[in-house]
Amino acid sequence: MTHAEDALTDVVREEWRRLVALLLTQFRRLDLVEDALGDAVEAASRTWPADGVPANPQAWLMTAARRRVLDRLRTEEVARRKEPLLLLDAEQHEEGVRTMADAGSLVEDDVLRLVLMCAHPALAPEAASALSLRLVLGVPTADIARLFLVPEPTMAARITRAKKRIVGAGIPFAVPDADVLPERLEVVAQTAYLTFTAGYSPGTGPDLLRAHQSGEAIRLVRVVLGLRPDEPALVALLALMLLQHSRRDARVGDGRLVLLADQDRTRWHHDEIAEATRLLTRPQLAGPLTPLAASYVLQARIAAEHATAPSAQETRWDRVVRLYDLLLQVAPTPSARLARAVAVAEQHGPAAGLDALEGLDVPQSHRPAAVRAELLSRAGDVDAARAAYDQAIAACRNEVETAFLVAQRDALPTR
């Protein structure tokens, strides 16, 4: 990539959320803001290579996007002279700033404001999370589709409908008061969870992990936990994220995927593991829990078994399997069933793992085929393993994972 392309990639990754928040604070028009920022990024991709990267790239994008919003508002005003003027005058803008300042006593974080807006009751929880992932947190639509196990065109249509619903319902860019905030927390938590997953295990692209994205999800949970410190779902979710995130530096070696069993545990962030294990002792997690909180607690306890085992060989797979059995009672998801099959194989052997996989089919994911291929290889069924690797490779959209699967397939013995 050129210097201009790198600079644009960096500013979009680091400043997109802030730019969206600033523009929404001023104009309160989700449809215009997102389109305008997209236009500004497209303009930058054309002009920066020729003219050079501006001294303040984010200010350049902000100015370009703001001009596009104003142009669109003027066009709308001309076309609809009999309707109220959409362009905010100075007095209206100052009133909006005062309103946001008042709300800021409750929530001051721009990203959380946007996620809370998307979590409005007018949107279904899944639509709210999907919209937040795309608009606020910059997760590619293809990765969102894989998180929800649906085709990419289906997810693109859902996000479009969600945006239209926000605009059509006149949902304001404003922070709910204290009475409304708790009922939106589960959507916020699920959005953070999915954002972390998209960063920890991207479905597409050249990166095995996007640590900045996972880190942003952790930051968001910390912000919400600061507002609701006794929420069990948030306590458990933070513990889960920290345990998974603690392994980030050991998961890739020389650009290649390193399996959990082969990771250098001295490279794990043991301070994060210690914080997470302390969180799991909090009294909030001992009482009756909502299904969402219970699922986070169980996933965190599974992650803790891995994080606190002295070595891969000393992992208590019996405990891991029992925890997955409980998790499947609370949240019977395909990913939980797949992970349980891996744990069963570690405890009882590849044949038992293959039995646990029986009937599991996730069309939008390569992972069931990849796990099946590994277990078939361990069981000595080389031809079936090769066919399963071919299936996984064809479905995989992550370059690092694809390279790993190809290497595993090519290492199978030939006959």
Shortest CA distance to 203 belongs to which of 148, 129, 260?
Answer: 148
Whole-structure pTM value: 0.83
What CA–CA distance (Å, rounded) separates 213 from 201?
10
pLDDT of residue 107: 56
pLDDT of residue 180: 66
pLDDT tens across 381-399, in order?
999 999 999 999 999 999 9
Shortest CA distance to 188 belongs to which of 143, 161, 166, 220?
Answer: 220
pLDDT tens across 121-175, in order?
888 899 999 988 988 887 888 899 999 988 889 999 998 888 888 777 766 655 5
Three-state DSSP state, 358: coil
Least confident residue range of 80-94, 166-180, 251-265, 381-395: 80-94
Most confidently modeled range among 13-17, 149-153, 367-371: 367-371
Residue 97 has pLDDT above 60, yes or no: no
Alpha-carbon torsion 228, 230, 232, 236, what sign?
positive
What CA–CA distance (Å, rounded) separates 404 from 374?
12
Alpha-carbon torsion 202, 162, 14, 216, what sign?
negative
**Contact by Cβ (8 Å): 96, 113:** no
